[in-house]
Amino acid sequence: MKKYVPHLLTVLRILIGWHFLYEGIAKLLSSAWTAKYYLLGSNWIFAGLFQWMASSPNLLKVVDFLNVWGLILIGLSLFIGLFVRWSSICGTVMLLFYFLAYPPIFGHTLGVVAEGNYQWLDKNLIELFMLIVFAFLPMAYFFGADRWIKRWKEERPNAPVPASGPEEGIPNRRREILRDMISVPFLGAFAYVLYRKSKWDSLEKKFLTDHPDAVSSATLKSFQFTSLEDLKGTVPLGKIGDFELSRLVMGGNLIGGWAHARDLIYVDKLVKMYHTDEKVMLTLQLAEECGINAIISNPVMCRIFNKYKQETGGKMQFISDCGAGKNFIEGIEISLEGGSDALYSHGGQSDTRVYNNDPTFFDELVEGLELIRNYGKPAGIGAHRIETVQACVERGIKPDFWVKTLHSDDYWSAEVDLERKDVPEAGWKDNNFCLKPQVAIDFMNGLEEPWIAFKTLAAGAILPEKGFKYAFDNGADFICVGMYDFQIVEDVNIALDTLANVNRIRPWRG
């Protein structure tokens, strides 16, 4: 079997060379490619170094140049078998940088386009060790240009004097030359692949943006981070007691699949399919980059929020609506077990019980608020109906914060269904979450506790520019907004512009 070893090692070397060469050429032909976002997204032990590289335009040009031409030259060297030892060493260094930037560990590959990892083991690491082996193997183990040059140098000074008859050994020399040219058919196949790819690109360029399709090294889904370049600043913080909270808070409905899409019944399932675990963690990571430090959602989402904290080291805080279990107390227990940072009574459940004159609700509410405070966490009351808030105030119940809907009612779909009598507000429909906005504004302006306004865009019926200003101008101290990842930077910029030109009567609470 020994005689087949050089053939197998040569083919393996050519395949790795193909990979390097194709990646390099794909990046070279892509005017949009840069390693910047790959470097910015690194979050392991050398993240500071990589982010420093990305922050300097001149240094980034060098990094991009070395990436592109390093891949091309290393790939070409491995392909034809020329200077294999040196290209293997250089390739090992490149792959080591890729590995250190995004090690295949839970939470450290977010955003990078990868073909999978097996915890500490991925294609980069496997190829890295292959190249180390190549660097230590003698030239005789490979067919290629190095072997041909070495044989030519050895044969040249010892060449025999030509005889008059047919030369002996010529067939053997020819066979050796053919073996050393084994990469030629592969090189032809590589050129054909590039030709076919260019023909296809000429067609799909009409429809697709110019992104590289070689993705395993120094390549990132750039849409995750490019919008950070447009960020005007980070969201300022307020306080609920000692609990620091960004003025703009993420809403968890889209992540959980509660889209309030009215009669578009497929949307809930659609947003659930979009929000994979990785997408959720990327979204939270991007929000933190923009200064958003909390998300409001249901206790069923504790799993993914805890996963985010454990795998990324993120600091996003989870405000639970306690909308799980049989009642408020059970919802609190589930939320505390899930690691919630602040808790409040679910607005819909509070509305229903107040509307139905449930005699046990207010005692349960007081008990629940005290339980939350005993754990050292802020305790709040949620509501859609202003009557729910009024009923709590009349009974002297003082939460640490309120979570109350607020939006205008001048959008075209704000009509109500007057035939519905089986809901906490006659005429309520899933398109209007603050039926008496001015009444709510006037009453909430008289309260001293901080107010988180939610449904500020009426589930997508109101533009952020209008909804944010309406909420902040009319007394909300914080606003909760459901956001897809691609909306975060834009929403933060709108919030910053709104806060810079706010015109409110109610003093800031918190």
At 64 the pLDDT is 94
At 255 the pLDDT is 86
Report the distance separating Cα 316 and Cα 288, nearest Å: 7
**Residue 17 to residues 6, 62, 80, Cα–Cα distance (Å):** 16, 23, 8
Identity at 379, one-letter amino acid code: A
- Are 494 and 464 in contact by the 8 Å Cβ rule? The answer is yes
Predicted TM-score (pTM) of the model is: 0.66
At 6 the pLDDT is 86
Please classify residue 443 by burial: count the beta carbons closer than 10 Å to its beta carbon, then call 0-12 exposed, 13-18 middle and 19+ buried.
middle
At 278 the pLDDT is 84
**Residue 1 to residues 6, 8, 161, 177, 300, Cα–Cα distance (Å):** 10, 11, 36, 22, 59
Q: What token pair was written down for 203?
A: 């067609």
Q: What percent of the chain has pLDDT over 90?
A: 53
Pairing state between β 401-405 and 451-454: parallel
The residue among 470, 451, 465 whose CA lies nearest residue 496 is 465
At 39 the pLDDT is 87
Q: What token pair was written down for 54?
A: 């990305």
- Are 329 and 485 in contact by the 8 Å Cβ rule? The answer is no
At 167 the pLDDT is 54
Report the distance separating Cα 92 and Cα 85, nearest Å: 11
DSSP string, 200-255: HHHHHTTTS----S--SSS-B-GGGTGGGGG------EEEETTEEEESEEEE-HHH
Residue spans of the chain under pLDDT 50: 203-212, 215-216, 220-226
At 225 the pLDDT is 43
Q: First and final CA of the chain: distance in angstroms?
A: 77
Identity at 111, one-letter amino acid code: G
Q: What contacts 24+ positions apart, CB below 8 Å, involve 87-91?
A: 88/131, 88/132, 88/134, 88/135, 89/131, 89/135, 91/16, 91/20, 91/127, 91/128, 91/131
**Residue 318 to residues 250, 348, 380, 403, Cα–Cα distance (Å):** 10, 19, 13, 14
Q: What token pair was written down for 395?
A: 């009974």
What Rg value do the Cα atoms of the chain yield, rounded? 32
DSSP three-state, residue 393 = helix
Report the distance separating Cα 476 and Cα 454, nearest Å: 9
Q: What token pair was written down for 222?
A: 């750039």
Pairing state between β 379-383 and 237-240: unpaired
Report the distance separating Cα 464 and Cα 462, nearest Å: 6
At 227 the pLDDT is 66
- Are 372 and 391 in contact by the 8 Å Cβ rule? The answer is no
Phi/psi of residue 226, nearest 5 degrees: -60, -35
At 104 the pLDDT is 81
Report the distance separating Cα 285 and Cα 112, nearest Å: 13
CB burial readout 474-500, b (16+ within 10 A) else e: bbbbbbbbbbebebbbebbbbbbebbe
Kindly list the structural domains of the chain, giving each domain's residue range(s) and its CATH number in brackets, ordered by start: 2-204 (no CATH), 227-500 (3.20.20.100)
- Are 510 and 484 in contact by the 8 Å Cβ rule? The answer is no
- Are 427 and 456 in contact by the 8 Å Cβ rule? The answer is no
Report the distance separating Cα 479 and Cα 458, nearest Å: 12
At 204 the pLDDT is 46
**Residue 157 to residues 84, 152, 161, Cα–Cα distance (Å):** 25, 9, 11
At 319 the pLDDT is 97
Identity at 491, one-letter amino acid code: D
Identity at 415, one-letter amino acid code: E
Per DSSP, 375 falls in state T
At 110 the pLDDT is 60
* Size (the chain), residues: 510
The residue among 462, 475, 465 whose CA lies nearest residue 497 is 465
Q: What token pair was written down for 416?
A: 């109500």
DSSP three-state, residue 402 = strand
